[in-house]
Amino acid sequence: MGGEAVPAQDAFDIFIVGGGINGCGIARDAVGRGYSVALAEMDDFASGTSSRATKLIHGGLRYLEHYEFRLVRESLMEREVLWAMAPHIIWPMRFVLPFHKGGVRPAWLIRLGLFLYDHIGGRKLLPATRTLDMRRDPASKPLKALFTRAFEYSDGWVDDARLVVLNAKDAAIKGARIMTRSRVVSAERDGGLWVVKVEDRATGVVDLFRARMLVNAAGPWVDVVLSNAVRRNNVHNVRLVQGSHIVVKKKFDDPRAYFFQNPDSRIIFAIPYETDFTLIGTTDNDFNGDPKNIRITEGEINYLCDAASEYFAEPVRPSDVVWTYSGVRPLYDDGASKAQEATRDYVLKIDGEQGNAPLLNVFGGKLTTYRRLAEHALEKIADAIGSKGSPWTAKSVLPGGDFPVSGYEAEVSKLIRRYPFLVARHARRLVRQYGTLAASLLGNIDSAEGLGRHFGADLYEAEVRWLIEEEWARRGEDVLWRRTKLGLTLTQAEAAGLEDYMRETIRDVA
């Protein structure tokens, strides 16, 4: 996927380093305006920070106490925009914030924050905040009896890795050259252009690309790109903050999530996850190592278990944990003394004197504001190399998202009518991940046998082949942990079988 190779003498308008949410979002917006675009990701899409967040489309309620009003307002306004763009992978979620007298934050402060949350972001479809009587509300069932009152508010949930790959897919459909497992070895200015050397990590082949402008959207590696590829010295723009999460067997049946305040003023979420599980996170700790080696620590596991156990009647123990993941957030280094106080806002900086090929560095950002970040990046790109097209993504849809925000159940019913051999749970997952493209994935299959080899859970050969051919999947982990979350349910032997199949299939294709 991603179009034909461009001869070395023909320059792209924009070359993007990094296939996380910011890089893919900028690529999609830019190619949709008429720019020629190439993007190189050194690993798989969203294999870094963009698949390791708390998976929320949210305004950032806690950012209000750090006075980040611009970021919160922009985030709140984006919730319903993104929901309409991708109702298969984004949906509303209600959050319950239990409160008790003597808590970390007084009730009046929480009410004020939630009032602003409801009124500064152009909320139209999401329901407003309300107060719960926890002596009667079902949300109290899994919690300790000490909570008599709670606040309930709206935010959204997103399948983060799929948000990234769908932006990349749409960019490719529109003509962008998209390359995964392609490492940028060097980027040098030459005669008003960038000359970018890219190594295919699977074959070792090195290609040269020319571009009028370079965009460094490498996330935690943004300074590494500046140091190693662009040859800059003494680079320090980002503050790396480790955020870790644990997944346990389902702790509650309520579809709502919980927002818990800790005595140290930090917060964690407990969120319904992949039907049978609960996701608990996140931590905020400074990180000084290589982001590729990020792992949850024993201390973080204990912290999350202890924090959740302060609220749940049934304690959360380290032995309950079935999966963990950690990510490094590349926050712009604003000199904040604590990791949780560092700004979550994004910063875009143009580098390059007049007459030199410009470089745009992207620092920070978060899932919720990626589309607006891309729009702001395109403003800087237009100033640097000339304008093409107008902002267009606010009313767009991502692949598979062409149905109403309230239309998920109708899409599931439609898929089952067309493919009656699908069990309901399988159909629901396919629509959640692929939306209207689930029918393209299944094609003319007319029986369960037609799905092909069964790898475990409800993962079949037809889906794996689709992911290889349409979504750049190359390894078992791409399928099990990013394109889907079926790694939670497949056994080690089943996962190994999938890895062997993909290796053979990709070798045959090559």
pLDDT tens profile 316-337: 999 999 999 999 988 887 666 5
> Which has the minimum average pLDDT: 76-90, 118-132, 218-232?
218-232
The per-residue pLDDT for range 352-382, each reduced to its tens digit, is: 767 789 999 999 889 999 999 999 999 999 9
Three-state DSSP class for residue 445: coil
The per-residue pLDDT for range 281-310, each reduced to its tens digit, is: 988 888 888 888 899 999 999 999 999 999
pLDDT of residue 6: 44
The yes-or-no verdict on residue 237 having pLDDT over 90 is no
Same domain, 284 and 303: yes
Tell me, yes or no, whether 67 lies in a domain.
no
Same domain, 255 and 303: yes
Pick from 493, 482, 497: nearest CA to 43 = 482
d(CA 344, CA 238): 11
User: Considering the chain, what is the average pLDDT of its residues?
Assistant: 92
pLDDT of residue 300: 95
pLDDT of residue 100: 72
Residues listed for the chain: 510
The yes-or-no verdict on residue 51 having pLDDT over 70 is yes
Tell me, yes or no, whether 29 lies in a domain.
yes
Tell me, yes or no, whether 426 lies in a domain.
yes
Range of the domain at 28: 12-49+162-237+344-395
Global pTM?
0.94
Three-state DSSP class for residue 325: strand
Boundary (domain end) residue, out of 356, 371, 395 = 395
What residue type is assigned to position 231 of the chain? R
Same domain, 261 and 143: yes
Which phi-psi region, left, alpha or beta, contains residue 20 (left: φ > 0; alpha: ψ -120 to 50)? beta
> Which has the minimum average pLDDT: 89-93, 344-348, 374-378, 437-441?
344-348
Tell me, yes or no, whether 17 lies in a domain.
yes
Three-state DSSP class for residue 422: coil
Q: How confident is the model at residue 447 (pLDDT cuts 50, 70, 90)?
A: very high
pLDDT over 90 percentage in the chain: 75
Inter-CA distances, 275 with 83, 278, 416, 488, Å? 20, 8, 19, 11
> Which has the minimum average pLDDT: 215-229, 256-270, 333-347, 390-404?
333-347
pLDDT of residue 9: 53
Cα–chain center distance at 390 = 25
Same domain, 128 and 210: no
| Max CA separation in the chain (angstroms) | 72
The yes-or-no verdict on residue 140 having pLDDT over 80 is yes
Count of the separate structural domains present in the chain: 3
Same domain, 413 and 503: yes
Over range 443-461, report the average pLDDT.
98
pLDDT of residue 332: 82
pLDDT of residue 445: 98
Tell me, yes or no, whether 2 lies in a domain.
no
Tell me, yes or no, whether 65 lies in a domain.
no
Tell me, yes or no, whether 199 lies in a domain.
yes
Inter-CA distances, 2 with 28, 38, 422, Å? 12, 9, 32
Boundary (domain end) residue, out of 283, 299, 328 = 328
Which residues, at least 6 apart from 78, have a Cβ–Cβ distance to it below 8 Å?
A: 57, 368, 369, 371, 372
Please name the residue ranges forming H helices in 333-407: 370-385
The yes-or-no verdict on residue 231 having pLDDT over 70 is yes
Same domain, 216 and 199: yes
pLDDT of residue 4: 46
Same domain, 202 and 297: no
pLDDT of residue 340: 59
What residue type is assigned to position 205 of the chain? V
